[in-house]
A and B are shown apart, each in its own frame.
Chain A
Amino acid sequence: MNAKAFKALIAMAFAISATVVPISQSFAAGESLGKSCPTEGVMTGTKTTSLICVKGSNGKQTWQRVKLSAGGGRPVASLTPPKGEIEFWHYRPEVLDQKALVEIIANFEARYPGTKIKQVVKDTTTFNATARVQILNNPKAALFATSRGFVFDTFAKSDMMVDLSSQRYVKQNAIAKAMFAGVYEGKQLGVPYQYLFNNPIVNTDLWAKEKWTTPKNLTGWVAWCKDAKAKGYIPFAWPGATLGQAAQISNSALMNSASSYAELEKNLLDLNSGKTDLTTSWFKGVASIYVKLRDAGCFPENPTGVTQNAAYTMFATEKSPLLPIGTFAMGDIVALNKKLDGKMQLMSMILTDGPVVAEGIMNNTYILSVNKNSSSRDQKIANAFISYLMTGPVGQIYANTSLQHVNVLDVEYTNVNLLTTSSFQAKNTMLAPRFLLVNGSVSDLTQQALIAIVGGKSPDDVLPDFSKQIKQKLAA
């Protein structure tokens, strides 16, 4: 046997062993292929070597190889771009995101000399208001990112995104269930890159110090709030003055407000189209959750005047043990108070006393798309860059630098904050429901109604009033 063939044989052996024997995977005791498992649906991670608890045809639950990607098999390498320059339009000017992207783009440009990517970044509000028209008139903007919901939908309606359904990296490199956020009318018009958890984050030190345990239902949360308040804390660092952030907690409230995801989805879609309004018994139920939490003292004083900055400060200065925002706030919190690095954990917020549909919320956003109006060469560059981002090592740089989880397989989370929270990926999470309200006016007005209720108003006054406002907006 010559040297070449021998090398090939070793490589093949290595490859085979790698798939059969997990190398860098730390499983909890008992979590190995074929062994029985307690809870159906729970995963051990997002590696191609991860396991999932599956109920077999014989009724037994065992750990099986998880098939996270749509295509199965190993992730593919990134595509080679042609030479040229394109613009990458997106809405994350945050320091850490920039740090990550600048590094990644530099690496990409070094690897492919002659190919350049220029970032065009705007803050979310400006982006949502003006980017679509700008990009429509600018073929150089071959690559852009949109947020799930209203923005992605509006862009999709403008027929400006290339269908990526047939791309191999879509099938092999991504977590399949996270791809739905980028599908429009059956076509994969974008790749959702960020994997967010819009759950409350808690200060683990404080919770340990006060010997609190995770409340299991609405009654439990009410009791916890009362206790926390009595001990001098502000239970929820909730920013009622910044609508986008005040709305995060609504995901937790909505998550278990109906008896199934299908029913919840129907309720929200009907609300969005105007078929129903805010005075349905379902929504009254959601409102009553807010009333209970408000009356238990969960929210800060003058809640509708608390800005995002004030809320973050409450949490960072440990005046408040819980920040009902999400994992993407962690970076800013650490910047405010280094002490909290690694001391933050996601927490399930189950706000019902009835049956539980989901334990937590996740969202897939920062949907990367290729501009249909760009030249074929520019489209190739954009597509190549997306495929580059969708490889494990690159996804790793992005995740660990920007402190966010990504929708890419085989990413090694090294940051302590991401690690402590990545266990949430294994929980029973629901795709953030509030983004089903794709009509901007309906979504905003619904949130404003809930904010007004927290501010002290009674649902009996608020819900009919805002229902009328929604009706007028939809009619015009």
Chain B
Amino acid sequence: MTQTSAPTIATRNIGAASRKKKRDAAIYYLMGLPAALLFSIFYFVPFIANLRYSLTRWDRITDPEFVGMKNFVNLLTNDDLFFKVLGNNLRFTFLVVLFQTVFSLFFAILLVRNTKFNILLRTLYFFPTILSSVSVGMIWLYIYDPNYGALNLFFNRVGLEAFALNWLGSETSALYAIAFTQVWFHTGQMIVIYIAGLQQIPQELYEAAEMDGATRWQQFKNVTWPMSIPTTVVVMAYTTIQSFRAFDLIFSMTQGGPNNASSIFAVMIYQTVFNELRIGYAAAQSIFFVLVLVLITLLQRKVLGSGKER
């Protein structure tokens, strides 16, 4: 009896198992559906719509006019502002990523041990991150004031008048001044990320290096740096995306001025929509924005690898 029933139970179990698998798959599907649906409708559909708008000339008052590739051609051949902003954005992102990474790694190394003092400082340095960028922008707008701001007051008082520049009013310094503010804003956050990464480096490696007579610098070069590359990948990727969100900061400080010296993609697109009423053109600019982002992401991947190899 058992010999004939065992295969039946087995087949029934297999049948039941595959039915359950199908049911499970359906439930997983349903669980992921709301998020996926929402995201598709409000992210990807607009994305495609953007492509459509970029082929038109439209001011939202009159009807849209189909112009084909004219916007793109114009952007590439007859628009100095576009290249200026592209250059600004690349320079801004590069500087912010470079300095924020270097500084946060530097301070992380200084504060890697979990002493009370170190933790206190980490908490202090982290503080700006929780403020809104509008707040940070207003604070630094005030500090950078060339005649009344704390920065120039300080320089003048200690005899360094040559350093008391027209920070946000001069085309040469505006972008860099804002970049400094951005680094000030988020370095504390990156310090914490680095510390978590550094604390995972086994002590034995350092001990071995010390026994070999390595100096601090050599220890850094041979142990710390290689072992923190995965963290560096994360820090750089995060900082890059963050630097493109500097729209908030720039908007509250200089609105992209003077003479678009501090304008980045998001600022330019915003102004094209609201100050110039050129929807189609702004859509074309957005497409280039996407291309630049993709390029930068790919570039970072290539230079640093995905960080998982080590």
**B274 & A130 in contact (Cβ 8 Å cutoff):** yes
**A129 & B146 in contact (Cβ 8 Å cutoff):** no
The reply on A349 being an interface residue by CB < 8 A is no
**A452 & B258 in contact (Cβ 8 Å cutoff):** yes
B275 cross-chain contacts in A, Cβ below 8 A: 129, 440-441, 444
**A455 & B61 in contact (Cβ 8 Å cutoff):** no
A302 cross-chain contacts in B, Cβ below 8 A: 146-147, 166, 169-170
Residues of chain A from 126 to 164 with CB closer than 8 A to chain B in the complex? 128-130, 132-133, 154, 157-158
A448–B278 Cα distance when bound, in Å, is 21
- The chain B residue with its CB closest to the CB of A234 is B147
A454–B275 Cα distance when bound, in Å, is 24
**B259 & A310 in contact (Cβ 8 Å cutoff):** no
Contact (A305, B78) CB under 8 Å given A158-B61, A448-B258: no
Q: Which stretch (A56-64, A76-84, A107-115, A466-474) binds chain B?
A: A466-474
**A476 & B278 in contact (Cβ 8 Å cutoff):** yes
**A305 & B146 in contact (Cβ 8 Å cutoff):** yes
Nearest-neighbour CB distance to chain A for B171, whole angstroms, equals 8
B147 cross-chain contacts in A, Cβ below 8 A: 300-302, 305-306, 310
- The chain B residue with its CB closest to the CB of A319 is B147
A451 cross-chain contacts in B, Cβ below 8 A: 258
A302–B156 Cα distance when bound, in Å, is 14
**A240 & B61 in contact (Cβ 8 Å cutoff):** no
The SS class assigned to the B binding surface is loop
A468 cross-chain contacts in B, Cβ below 8 A: 80
B145 cross-chain contacts in A, Cβ below 8 A: 305, 307, 310
Residues of chain B from 127 to 165 with CB closer than 8 A to chain A in the complex? 141, 144-148
The count of chain A contact residues (Cβ–Cβ below 8 Å) is 34
Nearest-neighbour CB distance to chain A for B151, whole angstroms, equals 11
**B169 & A305 in contact (Cβ 8 Å cutoff):** yes
- The chain A residue with its CB closest to the CB of B168 is A305
Nearest-neighbour CB distance to chain A for B266, whole angstroms, equals 15
**B169 & A472 in contact (Cβ 8 Å cutoff):** no
From A130, A158, A305, contact of B166 by CB (8 A): A305
Interface string of B53-77 (1 = CB under 8 A from A): 0000000110000000001001000
**B60 & A241 in contact (Cβ 8 Å cutoff):** no
**A154 & B61 in contact (Cβ 8 Å cutoff):** yes
**A305 & B167 in contact (Cβ 8 Å cutoff):** yes
A225–B60 Cα distance when bound, in Å, is 47
Which residue, of A154, A157, A469, has the highest number of chain B Cβ atoms within 10 A? Answer: A469
The SS class assigned to the A binding surface is helix
Nearest-neighbour CB distance to chain A for B27, whole angstroms, equals 42
Contact (A476, B166) CB under 8 Å given A158-B61, A301-B147, A468-B80: no
A132–B62 Cα distance when bound, in Å, is 13
A56–B257 Cα distance when bound, in Å, is 54
The reply on B247 being an interface residue by CB < 8 A is no
Residues of chain A from 230 to 277 with CB closer than 8 A to chain B in the complex? 240-241, 243
A158 cross-chain contacts in B, Cβ below 8 A: 61
The reply on B79 being an interface residue by CB < 8 A is yes
The reply on A421 being an interface residue by CB < 8 A is no
**A472 & B61 in contact (Cβ 8 Å cutoff):** no
A240–B167 Cα distance when bound, in Å, is 13
**A304 & B166 in contact (Cβ 8 Å cutoff):** yes
A428 cross-chain contacts in B, Cβ below 8 A: none
**B168 & A241 in contact (Cβ 8 Å cutoff):** yes
**A440 & B169 in contact (Cβ 8 Å cutoff):** no
**A448 & B259 in contact (Cβ 8 Å cutoff):** yes
Residues of chain A from 417 to 463 with CB closer than 8 A to chain B in the complex? 440-441, 444, 448, 451-452, 455
**A157 & B61 in contact (Cβ 8 Å cutoff):** yes
- The chain B residue with its CB closest to the CB of A126 is B274
- The chain B residue with its CB closest to the CB of A133 is B60
**B276 & A441 in contact (Cβ 8 Å cutoff):** yes
The reply on A5 being an interface residue by CB < 8 A is no
The reply on A75 being an interface residue by CB < 8 A is no
A243 cross-chain contacts in B, Cβ below 8 A: 257
From B167, B170, B276, contact of A455 by CB (8 A): B170
**A241 & B276 in contact (Cβ 8 Å cutoff):** no
A304–B146 Cα distance when bound, in Å, is 9
- The chain B residue with its CB closest to the CB of A303 is B169
9 further contact pairs, Cβ within 8 A, besides A241-B169, A305-B145, A305-B147: A132-B61, A157-B61, A158-B61, A304-B258, A305-B166, A306-B146, A440-B275, A448-B257, A476-B74
Q: Can you list 12 contacts pairing A with B, beta carbon distance less than 8 Å? A: A128-B274, A129-B274, A302-B170, A303-B169, A306-B147, A306-B169, A440-B275, A441-B275, A452-B258, A452-B259, A455-B169, A476-B79
Give 7 closest A-B pairs by Cβ, nearest first: A305-B169, A302-B146, A304-B169, A129-B274, A302-B166, A305-B146, A305-B166
